Chains A and B, each alone.
Chain A
């Protein structure tokens, strides 16, 4: 599936969070979005998944901040700009949110079953098998409550839960947040595996580019809400400014 977002602008009250950002994700590609804290990565992810529409509505009812959303998002040529998040999920755009947001009171298996709500029932057993194959650790804790898993296991569970929904475009918001290098490797390997096995388009937002860069095809650098650089993996790695800021070289 081809996701094309252009001219995205997001205002939280009078603060500009995203400034004219455009992002394209071709079928089956892995896209990296890099930026520091408060660059606008999460806002971009919320925008693509439609969660921001929901946040906007809640803020309006509460009388809180006014959120202004501008821009256009199309999926395979069909405009989905004002489509609510659950309908976007039904079309295959699935968000694996920052800080996991797993269901802490449900067990591992229940979390996965909740994730498969939209997918055909007959695929469920096979999908769960698949998740356990790429994340064998989850199988050891199959009946443990999500809230009692370690941070790394929770991240695996969050990715697994997103996979259960049969995503065509998987949005991973800071999947490596707070993970040890060993766990980072497991997650990155899983991304490689998911892409190879299922041909899912994946968009990864991260602060630190180095662990992610081997698996991506193209990347965007976001700073202060603007996409300041866009290019292939090689182009980004060749850029000295990017190197020092996001690779720690």
Chain B
């Protein structure tokens, strides 16, 4: 409370108000205002491989970045749009990766079939595995998703399944680096914009309502477990797609696909980028993944730096970058008399 009788008020920018309605199509400036951020993201992502052409190592980082971004989108979607906190990103990566390996190496499916087939199979298995705990509220979902990757690792190790600790080698690689780059970038963009469309549709509203108050959703005659299962299927499909892709990039599917990194970095990215808006997950990855590559120089000490950055973000800007930037883009502030 201040003693001065004035306050800061937030006002929507004129151009925001104008471009909210039909008038948006009346001028180029308003259309650009609306589509500018999207164009920036799309063009930026698609130009990345070209800009990084002299640095093959960083081109590979872009691939990894996109896989992390897919996982982060899946996490953000489940946590902030359906209310299921999933700590098992590595389960999706592992399932997708191993299925791709089996399809490609053992069943001899070509790469353009093995990736989607692996994503589908992985999503079905993940959904079936998670299904029993979907009717419960609370931490059970998080615990179960955290445990499955550990379980898979130990089972594969103990019974020497699927190549045991050596993994499955000899997957087909992509025919060219450009195809390798652009396939995942296009997948990322398609997932990002597709999922946003789903969320703005009726089914998205119902999912959000499930997060808010599942009893009221039940009272509205909607099968909550079915909705949750659908959401888990969508998220695990996205995650498994990333895993299958990754296995083909490495030409190898092994236990490291179940590494904890795949569970943690996406969550960190969503924290930094801001939850609830899927773009935030991508922005978070765009910051975190290159950062962690730079920090490789520090060896294991990078975890310390990583945690510091993350904690600082939570304490100082817990809303995340994306919501903050959106607000600055749409509104301005001024002092007003109270």
Contact = CB atoms under 8 A, between A and B. Distances in A.
Real binding pair:
yes
A9 B10 contact: no
B1 A71 contact: yes
A192 to B, nearest CB: 35
Interface stretch (B118-126, B251-259, B319-327): B319-327
B10 A14 contact: yes
B8 interface: yes
B9 interface: yes
B270 to A, nearest CB: 14
Given A69-B1, A70-B338, 12 more contacts: A13-B9, A13-B10, A14-B10, A14-B11, A63-B317, A63-B318, A63-B319, A63-B320, A68-B338, A70-B2, A71-B1, A72-B3
A69 B4 CA distance: 11
Contact of A11 (B7, B317, B327): B7
Q: Residue among B1, B5, B317, B338 with the most chain A CB within 10 A? A: B1
Contacts of A232: none
Contact of B10 (A66, A69, A81): A66
B318 A70 contact: no
Interface in A193-233: none
Contacts of B327: 63
A61 B271 CA distance: 13
Interface residues of A, number: 17
Contact of A70 (B7, B11, B274, B323): B7
Contact of B318 (A11, A61, A66, A72): A61
Contacts of A62: 318-319
Interface in A3-19: 9, 11, 13-14
Nearest to B336: A14
Contacts, number: 38
A137 B169 CA distance: 72
B319 A61 contact: yes
B325 to A, nearest CB: 11
Interface in A64-91: 64, 66, 68-72, 81-82
A9 B3 CA distance: 11
Contact of B338 (A11, A13, A61, A66): A11
Contacts of B274: 63
B319 A70 contact: no
A68 B1 CA distance: 7
A70 B1 contact: yes
A70 B324 CA distance: 25
A68 B8 contact: yes
B323 A9 contact: no
Interface string B295-338: 00000000000000000000001111001100100000000001
A16 to B, nearest CB: 9
B281 to A, nearest CB: 16
A184 B282 CA distance: 55
Contact of A68 (B7, B318, B320): B7
10 cross-chain pairs, A with B, having the tightest CB-CB distances, nearest first: A63-B319, A68-B7, A69-B1, A61-B318, A63-B323, A81-B1, A70-B338, A9-B338, A14-B9, A82-B1
Which of B317, B318, B323, B338 has most A Cβ within 10 Å?
A: B338
Contacts of B318: 61-63
Nearest to B4: A70
B324 A63 contact: yes
Contacts of A61: 318-319
A64 B8 CA distance: 14
A66 B8 contact: yes
